[in-house]
Amino acid sequence: MSYLNAIILGLVQGLTEFLPVSSSGHLTILQHFFGINGDSVVAFTVMLHVGTLFSVFYMYWNDIWALIKELFLTIRDLCTGRGLKLDERPIRKLGVMIIVATIPTGIIGMLFNDVFESFYKTLLPTAIGLIITGILLWTAESIKGGHTKIEDMKFRDALLIGTLQGVAITPGISRSGSTLVGGLFAKLDRGFAVEFAFLISIPSIIGSLVFETGSGSIGASLASNLGPVLLGTVIAAISGIFAIKFMIKVVKQYSLKYFSLYVWIVSIVLLVHEIFF
């Protein structure tokens, strides 16, 4: 893998992981045209996820640290018979909702892993996934905004968002877009919908890291491409931070329909390529 490839892939991963345009879809497209395959793909994907995970931790460290501390307080309350007290402690309820949302994502990932892997053999599933992403974003933007925050969030809301995140394992279907759309369907406040979408990406990204690391021998590939891999990881982390900041602003002030138009254009290009080339 060249340094130029690493720079491009790192930049694309960092931006598309948090913009609603599908990072898996874009990486699949670039890897196809760059001719990157085998263990090098797995190794590089693992490290790019490490970079984007850093982005989330950087942007939401205060919330993450509060959730970690609340976890120990929750264990204490459960052991002493005080109960969960979700109505009294919003940060605790946020942690529980993240766990609830992660459950359907994990179940879908485990049950349909072979199906999802088969989607990476050609670019056609990615093109279809991008079309679906555009439809979801366009539909969600047409829904009147809600005002629900963590205090009034229901378990069914978390399950809906987590289910859409699971479906987004499909290349071309955006994880951030799907979870954001789920939040808007659930009438969450737009700002909180973005925050929740990014926070539930943490267990999702960690889960994919564990799975991809255990799916093959990537140590040799990392060693042989150490320079490009490290460069791509750093670029993914930095560009991811900018993408999160940009996305927060876009959701609050602008329309998601612009992203729909973008993914539809990309999907048309892919369909033309698959049909005629």
Q: Quote the pLDDT of residue 198.
A: 94
User: Per-residue pLDDT averaged across 95-105, rounded?
Assistant: 96
Q: Is the pLDDT of residue 216 over 60?
A: no
Q: What is the DSSP string of 169-229?
A: TSTTS-HHHHHHHHHHHTTB-HHHHHHHHHHTHHHHHHHHHHHHHHTS--HHHHHHTHHHH
Buried b (16+ CB within 10 A) or exposed e, 208-217: bbeebeeeee
d(CA 225, CA 158): 39
pLDDT greater than 90 at residue 146: no
The reported pLDDT for the residue numbered 14 is: 93
**Contacts for 79 with CB less than 8 Å, ≥ 6 apart:** none
Burial of 87 (0-12, 13-18, 19+ CB in 10 A): exposed
- Asked whether residue 50 carries a pLDDT value surpassing 80, the answer given is yes
Average of pLDDT values for 59-70?
95
d(CA 141, CA 250): 12
What is the reported pLDDT for 135? Answer: 95
Answering whether pTM is above 0.85, one says yes
Q: What is the pLDDT of residue 37?
A: 63
Q: Specify the pLDDT at position 43.
A: 67
Q: Rounded to an integer, what distance in angstroms lies between the CA atom of residue 40 and that of residue 1?
A: 8
Query: Given a cut of 80, is residue 136 above it in pLDDT?
Result: yes
Weakest mean pLDDT among 85-94, 98-107, 183-192, 224-233: 224-233
Beta carbons of 141 and 257 less than 8 angstroms apart:
yes
- Could you give the CA distance from residue 194 to residue 252 in angstroms, rounded to a whole number? 9
Whether the pLDDT of residue 223 is over 90: the answer is no
Q: Give 51 or 31, the one with higher predicted confidence.
A: 51
- The Cα 95–Cα 258 span in angstroms is 32
- 1, pLDDT greater than 90: no
Which amino acid appears at position 10 of this protein?
A: G
Residue 51 has pLDDT above 90, yes or no: yes
pLDDT of residue 38: 53
For 168-180, the pLDDT digits (tens) are 999 999 999 999 9
Which one, of 184, 251, 169, 224, lies nearest residue 38 by Cα?
224
CB 21 within 8 A of CB 133: yes
**Residue 150 vs residue 223, higher pLDDT:** 150
Is the confidence at residue 215, as pLDDT, over 60? no
Burial group, residue 32, by CB count within 10 angstroms (0-12, 13-18, 19+):
middle
Token look-up 């205090």 returns 151
> Hey, which residues does 148 pair with through a beta bridge?
188
Q: Report, as an integer, the average pLDDT of 222-243.
A: 87
What ranges do the domains of the chain cover? 3-276
Query: What's the pLDDT at 268?
Result: 96
